[in-house]
Structure 1
């Protein structure tokens, strides 16, 4: 295939000063990628996904459509970092998204982005991201100080948005009304609402309830996945307008017990498939039945993707210190979900709002349903 692409360099464009990114953290990430190259025996690597680019650039926005492909590609080699974007995106990238030490190149808006980036490789044949998916995922696992601080702030603000919106909810409010109020709060935070779910009392059987015009009724769930600086906070909260039935209160306590067992299994050196095995056993142990895990995904490591990756019986990635997770055990009419980090002191919940009611479960404060 012949690639007809004009490549121009804009690294010295006015306004291309440092924007997102922590220089110390970026240096560690670059070394991690260079280690991958050394292990593979290749001279360069082409990063092309939102997850990899946002991680390596330490928070830069390289998308336009939330559902679209990135509008940039990154060529990493021993000599430096080269970000290639379309000519109609280059000025904004240079002014607002380009970390120090990254050379910016542009191609025509109708050009071939990945081919142009590959041309910058010394041999013209860089290692493709898809060839080292597992290695890059491992490189993202252990969070660094700057991104840990950014993630904790995002998660706390997301939890606060849920508190603010659900505290004002009424039984007559619609699911779309709750979702739209949450969307406004998330965007006002400078974040992007990647997922907004809501179900009222009449739709409680759905695990992924896209909102409808249905009223909330006596009880409702809201779920937010909010992205900022490339990081995705995942939070679920429940609200009710009565005291709750004995069966509901019992199920809520039991699903929190399932989660507590999963937290106990999330320790340095464990494997994701081992943690997943504990999830399966916990459902049986706490009265949900052995097959409950088959009815919805259970979560996994979090960060620059909603789950990075989802845990399954086949995922054997190791658990490491400072890694972040969102486990989301669920049962009929119940679900619990927060974003947490594995620290030297154990599990630290990041998506915390002190205004939300909680109960102590195995030493960790966990959210209750907000009763209005």
Structure 2
């Protein structure tokens, strides 16, 4: 079995963030009485390795697994991936164990040897999720830039749209600009006026017509930005304008409920009452998931009544309240000063809602 150690070629800030993450995981192991853990998911690996790309296919599993022990970090990677990971992706100090491509990354005894009994990631899933919920300085800087880029891409593309533009051409432009920005387009949704009632509208050849929605979920450095924007080619109907104002009011109530110490389930309870309070009825929240904490997963995790994770400072969120023909969605950060939207572009029209600038529909 061939091994190599990654040389130091990262900034001091990145090294400090990696050290902080390692300390968090070692604390988790100590509390659980375990000697090691094997990280195997995109979310956990990208977080622990501070943004390393550990996948090839967007639909595939990671091409590496990481054994965290008190003595060091050991990455198992297929032999056709190890050199690239060492040269371009991994933080310093990681020992790489090359695994023949037909073999299993999960067979720790085969590539590491006897002497450890690692916990599976699933055994410590909640603890690991809580460990990554509060962003470190380097992470926040990278995430803020990604979120701004995603918002800017939507501005660039939708500003040039016409009623005759097709949904697929919008998606193609969004994809191209996302890749050009060094990010993976994980989700691209577009609907024109004929499909406006669909909450997850995969793009078709339909033209946009008089109004449209576009959604980008972009991943870079392991983190995922989620943004929704609307464009309209007329003045809008009174019913549309009223619904847009009411869904923004629902979101404002969600922001008010997203405070340190609250549980995700408690925020969801406030979401349910906000829909009814602003005229959408008590059942509207059941027709689409409502979002939740964000960062190294699209939602980390989606808000349900079973999620008792507490909200903390420097934690990102993407809440996405929606109703018939309306939706509002940005990636935001809970800072010491309250909710701060991250996915912003000053070129996009915005209006204060409860003291926070929120995107309006772009009228062309």
Match of 1:49 among 37, 41, 50: 41
With 64-73 and 110-119 compared, the bigger mean Cα shift is at 110-119
Q: Distance in 2 between matches of 1:335 and 1:325?
A: 16
Deviation at residue 11 of structure 1 after TM alignment: 2.0
Would you say 1:269 and 2:261 are equivalent positions? yes
Q: Which deviations, in whole Å up to 9, do the C-alpha atoms of 1:10-34 show, x marking residues without a partner?
A: 226xxx5535981111111000000
Q: Distance in 1 between matches of 2:167 and 2:74?
A: 44
Match of 1:164 among 153, 156, 170: 156
Would you say 1:8 and 2:2 are equivalent positions? yes
Partner residue in 1 for 2:23: 31
Q: Distance in 1 between matches of 2:3 and 2:57?
A: 25
Deviation at residue 123 of structure 1 after TM alignment: 2.6
Partner residue in 2 for 1:18: 9
Deviation at residue 145 of structure 1 after TM alignment: 0.5
Q: Which deviations, in whole Å up to 9, do the C-alpha atoms of 1:327-369 show, x marking residues without a partner?
A: 0000000000000000000000000000000010000000000
Partner residue in 2 for 1:323: 315
Deviation at residue 122 of structure 1 after TM alignment: 5.7
Partner residue in 1 for 2:272: 280
Please give the residue correspondences for 1:189-268 in structure 2 after superposition, counting only pairs within 5 Å.
189-268=181-260
For the 8 Å contact 2:97–2:111, the answer to whether it is kept is no
Closer/same/farther in 2, CA of residues 84 and 206 from structure 1, 3 Å limit: same
For the 8 Å contact 2:210–2:233, the answer to whether it is kept is yes
Would you say 1:82 and 2:74 are equivalent positions? yes
Would you say 1:127 and 2:119 are equivalent positions? yes
For the 8 Å contact 1:84–1:117, the answer to whether it is kept is no
Q: Distance in 2 between matches of 1:190 and 1:202?
A: 33
Partner residue in 2 for 1:339: 331
For the 8 Å contact 1:74–1:117, the answer to whether it is kept is no
Partner residue in 1 for 2:178: 186
Partner residue in 1 for 2:166: 174
- Ranges of 4+ aligned residues in structure 1 off by more than 3 Å: 116-119
Partner residue in 1 for 2:300: 308
Partner residue in 2 for 1:108: 100
Q: Distance in 2 between matches of 1:156 and 1:278?
A: 28
Q: Which deviations, in whole Å up to 9, do the C-alpha atoms of 1:157-198 show, x marking residues without a partner?
A: 100000000000010000000000000000000000000000
For the 8 Å contact 1:75–1:118, the answer to whether it is kept is no
For the 8 Å contact 1:46–1:74, the answer to whether it is kept is yes
Say which SS state the counterpart of residue 264 (structure 1) adopts: helix
For the 8 Å contact 1:46–1:117, the answer to whether it is kept is no
Would you say 1:141 and 2:146 are equivalent positions? no
For the 8 Å contact 2:25–2:128, the answer to whether it is kept is yes
Closer/same/farther in 2, CA of residues 157 and 105 from structure 1, 3 Å limit: same
For the 8 Å contact 2:235–2:363, the answer to whether it is kept is yes
Q: Distance in 2 between matches of 1:118 and 1:343?
A: 45
Q: Distance in 2 between matches of 1:224 and 1:270?
A: 28
Segments of structure 1 that go 5 or more residues without pairing to the other structure are 1-6
Match of 1:365 among 346, 357, 361: 357
With 122-131 and 323-332 compared, the bigger mean Cα shift is at 122-131
Partner residue in 2 for 1:4: none
Q: Distance in 1 between matches of 2:62 and 2:8?
A: 22
Q: CA RMSD in A?
A: 1.3
Deviation at residue 118 of structure 1 after TM alignment: 7.3
With 16-25 and 245-254 compared, the bigger mean Cα shift is at 16-25
Say which SS state the counterpart of residue 95 (structure 2) adopts: strand
Deviation at residue 91 of structure 1 after TM alignment: 1.2
For the 8 Å contact 1:19–1:96, the answer to whether it is kept is no
Q: Distance in 2 between matches of 1:197 and 1:117?
A: 44
Closer/same/farther in 2, CA of residues 118 and 147 from structure 1, 3 Å limit: farther
**TM-score normalised to the size of structure 2?**
0.98
Q: Which deviations, in whole Å up to 9, do the C-alpha atoms of 1:50-85 show, x marking residues without a partner?
A: 000000000000000001000000000001111110
Q: Distance in 2 between matches of 1:233 and 1:121?
A: 39
